[in-house]
Structure 1
Amino acid sequence: MKTKLLFVDDEESLLVFYRNVFAAESEVVTATSAAEAFDILRQDDSFSVVTSDLNMPEIDGLDFLKKLKELSPHSVRMMLTGYASKDTAIAAVNEADVFKLLTKPISLSELKKAMRDAERKFEIDRAERVLLENTVNGSVSILVEVLAMANPVVFGRATERRRIATRICQALGMTDTWEAETAALLGNIGMLSLPQDVMSRITQGAAPLESDMAHIHNQVDVGANLVRQVPRLDCVAEAIALQYKNFDGSGYPEHQRIHGAAIPLGARILRLINEQEMLFSQGHEGAQILEMLRANTSHFDGKVLAALETVNEEDEEHQTITNVSLDVLPEGAELAHDIYNIDDVLLVRAGVVVSDYLLQRLRNFAHEGLIPDNAFIRRQSASS
């Protein structure tokens, strides 16, 4: 598979030269301006190497490189310039994470070697990233499974929360959904620290008391601090810490002056998922929930809310609810209705994805006559 290279320079003759040199072995894309490069990267951030001139006419070179890093964080960046001061070189490396600073004129052999080095770095970085993500994903999955065993009412919806976060990201046109997914999985981990009476009100769908809010906000900090201790989860921890921050800057934490798009996307997604879950647990239905969310436009990112509406509409269109015996209830199924025991105590909430442990537990309860021997599950068609 060919590597993908992006070259950015306002000199068309140089771009023709780059195409002639590298097109045989790589897929070469060129841009004559910063704006054109940004448009390309917004549609495709899978370039192995981005090589640009420092002196772009409509934007400061370092600002351009920092924007490149934001739009395509995994691409290796190289900078070509006719002259670069020591301060410029240091800033390029420290602020824009530039891999190589190349000085014009440059020989063909030097350019080819620099490109080989950059491509090799991209492959090494990608391999390390995949290894780390697989390791972290495995650890997170085990942790979520253990939490769901301890309290299926609170933590059993983690997999469903991740599914919604993934679908929102996809509706927004994002390809890198890992941080938002992981934040959705671990967003409630701090609830382990809640007093039992507060936890009971939340799990039973009761509106939290005003005195509960300090505990609820504190558990967010507890959860974020726990997640920060895991390598590579700093951004996930930040999203968890800000999941009750409103889009207009109000909300928790009050001391953090941040609003709008400056709030991490994962936090903006969690803000909506949390609100939708709370309204659902209080007995509200889909259309009513959306109306209530739309009524608080200052609290939510409008684009994320529109994406959530799209996800919910597609789910409604492609879902069916089926009553099945616990004997044939499949692992991985999503419960469509709450499950109560014979004393009318909530055991498992609707939306929980059935794990092997939960399935065995439900079958044991049914065998003892403590719950019905059937459950309602929600089936999704492949298209949704």
Structure 2
Amino acid sequence: MEKSKVLFVDDDRNLLHALQRKMRRKFDFEIAIGGEEALRILMEDGPFAVCIADMRMPGMDGVKLLTEIGRVSPDTVRMMLTGNADQHTAVEAINRGQIFRFFSKPCDDEVLEQGINDAIRQHQLITAERNLLEQTLAGSVKVLTDVLAQLNPLIFGRSMRVKSWCDLIARDIGYPQPWELGLAALLAPIGMVSLPPDTLARLAMGKVLQPLERDLLKRTPEVGKQLIANIPRLNHIGEIVYLQFKNFDGSGFPVGDNPKGKDIPLGARVLRILNDLAELSTSDMPLAQNFDELREHPHRYDPELLGQISDLLAIVDDSYDIETHPKGREQDVFLKSLRVHDFLMTDIETVEGHILLTHGNHVSEVQLQRLRVFQQIHKFREPIRIRRGGSRPSTND
């Protein structure tokens, strides 16, 4: 049977080596001289089932060390050795949930060994419960996502793309539980199971919805929250899904006395950005210009977070490199790939010959929205010749 890994931390080298000789027959027992070395060993050789640290050490004391270990390796059971003068600090640490047990120095070897065995059993309980929960969650989430994939593959595909972006940025933006953000992205559209099939079909095709359908769509996060609430330990994810359309200034759904600004959960603020990026982007990664379009609606997004995500995800389209292409770059695009500020080199016309926009003009946001509507009714001559990038048009263009 594989021995459980134990890390013992002290600044007394002789004590450490003496303990290692006594304990290595019973445990996979490693030692560290001081807090900095302990963290290095934890990162290189971890995870550890148990960590015991002396309270008084130069540089980083035991409380600081074990608190940091609790952050980077939450399943590790932490214990502390203290002198009489440190017992008040140790009791406070236990009460805050940082420490499983503490021992007074000097500590009898048998007492220490028994404490390590108790800590190992505690670690086994923690990991067994976590594994059971993970399996239960994985099964429950798979059922929901399978339903969504069958319901509308296009919508599910978009949520998978958002999830992949969440996985890329989660750690860099300081998200405390990265898996949670990706799961929230995957489950974000689950409330759409409540929409009628005809509405789902029009939504997937980008067609304009009727007022009643738009109202039903706005309510889907509430339905999603109710569905997710039935899965244990996913309450916070349900709240993220519920607030995914909440604007940074407090407007948007849900309407009423709801959080705004930084009080909106971080996950919901991320989804507010990434969901809209997925609407704008036609590629696997969003372009810098997609972020520029989001910045035209500053009330919707957390500006600091938008900047962070842009730095992490934005792909630069060299068409917009003014030094390389001072007047932009000519290219052929299909109507679905047309963007705001593109300069038309040819007319945009239907196959019947009806001209909607003439060449020689930059495409405005209003015109692009109008084209999207007409695209559901008419067929257009494609591709369209455009010039993209270069100097931005003036407001008079």
Are the equivalent residues in 1 in contact too, given 2:77–2:100 (CA < 8 A)? Answer: yes
Q: Give the match for residue 7 of structure 2.
A: 6
- Whole-Å separation in 1 of the counterparts to 2:33 and 2:214: 51
Q: Which amino acid aligns with 2:234?
A: L
1:71-86 to structure 2, matched below 5 A, reads 71-83=72-84, 85=87
Residue in 2 aligned with 1:356?
none
Q: Kindly state the Cα deviation for residue 141 of structure 1 after the two structures are TM-superposed.
A: 0.5
Moved more, 217-226 or 74-83: 217-226
- More divergent stretch after superposition (3-12 vs 196-205): 196-205
Report the Cα distance in structure 2 between the residues aligned to 1:288 and 1:151, rounded to whole angstroms.
Answer: 23
Structure 2 counterpart of 1:138: 139
Structure 2 Cα separation of the partners of residues 82 and 240 of structure 1: 49
Count, aligned residues: 305
What's the counterpart of residue 231 of structure 1? 232
Measure the CA separation in 2 of the matches of 1:238 and 1:57. Answer: 44
Contact 1:51–1:78, Cα closer than 8 Å, also in 2: yes
Q: Does 1:183 align with 2:170?
A: no
Between the aligned partners of 1:63 and 1:215, the Cα distance in structure 2 is 51
State the distance in 1 between where 2:244 and 2:82 align: 43
Could you tell me which residue of structure 2 aligns to residue 105 of structure 1? 106
Alpha-carbon contact 2:34-2:60 (below 8 Å) kept:
no
Going from structure 1 to structure 2, the CA distance change for 1:86 and 1:132 (only over 3 Å counts) comes to: same
Q: Is residue 298 from structure 1 mapped to residue 299 from structure 2 by the alignment?
A: no
1:317-365 CA-partner distances (Å, limit 9, x unpaired): xxxxxxxxxxxxxxxxxxxx9xxxxxxxxxxxxxxxxxxxxxxxxxxxx
The alignment yields a C-alpha RMSD, in angstroms, of: 4.8
Distance 1:212 1:46, change over 3 A: farther
Looking at both structures, which has the greater relative contact order when contacts are Cα pairs under 8 Å and sequence separation is at least 6?
1
Structure-to-structure mapping, 1:45-194, within 5 angstroms: 46-55=47-56, 62=63, 64-83=65-84, 85=87, 88-89=90-91, 91-155=92-156, 157-159=158-160, 161-166=162-167, 178-192=179-193
Structure 1-normalised TM-score? Answer: 0.59
State how far apart, in whole Å, the 2-side matches of 1:43 and 1:169 are.
22
Q: Secondary structure at the match of 2:241?
A: helix
Closer/same/farther in 2, CA of residues 125 and 219 from structure 1, 3 Å limit: same
User: Measured at CA, do residues 270 and 17 of structure 1 come closer, stay the same or move farther in structure 2, by a change above 3 Å?
Assistant: farther
**Distance of 1:209 and 1:14 partners within structure 2:** 76
Instruction: Give the distance between the partners of 2:156 and 2:99, measured in 1 at CA.
Output: 41
Quote the residue 2:359 is aligned against: none
Contact 1:5/1:48 (8 A) holds in 2: yes
With over 3 angstroms needed to count, the CA separation of the structure-2 counterparts of 1:234 and 1:76, relative to structure 1, is: farther
Runs of 4+ aligned residues of structure 1 deviating over 6 Å after TM superposition are 170-176, 194-201, 206-217, 248-254
Aligned match of 1:26: 28
Q: Distance in 2 between matches of 1:249 and 1:69?
A: 35
Counting aligned pairs with the same residue, the percent is 32
Structure 2 unaligned blocks of 5 or more: 296-301, 318-335, 337-397
Shift of 1:74: 1.4
CA shift at 1:107, angstroms? 0.8
Instruction: Measure the CA separation in 1 of the matches of 2:286 and 2:275.
Output: 16
Kept in 1: contact 2:163–2:186 (CA 8 A):
yes
Which 5+ residue runs of structure 1 have no aligned equivalent?
314-336, 338-384
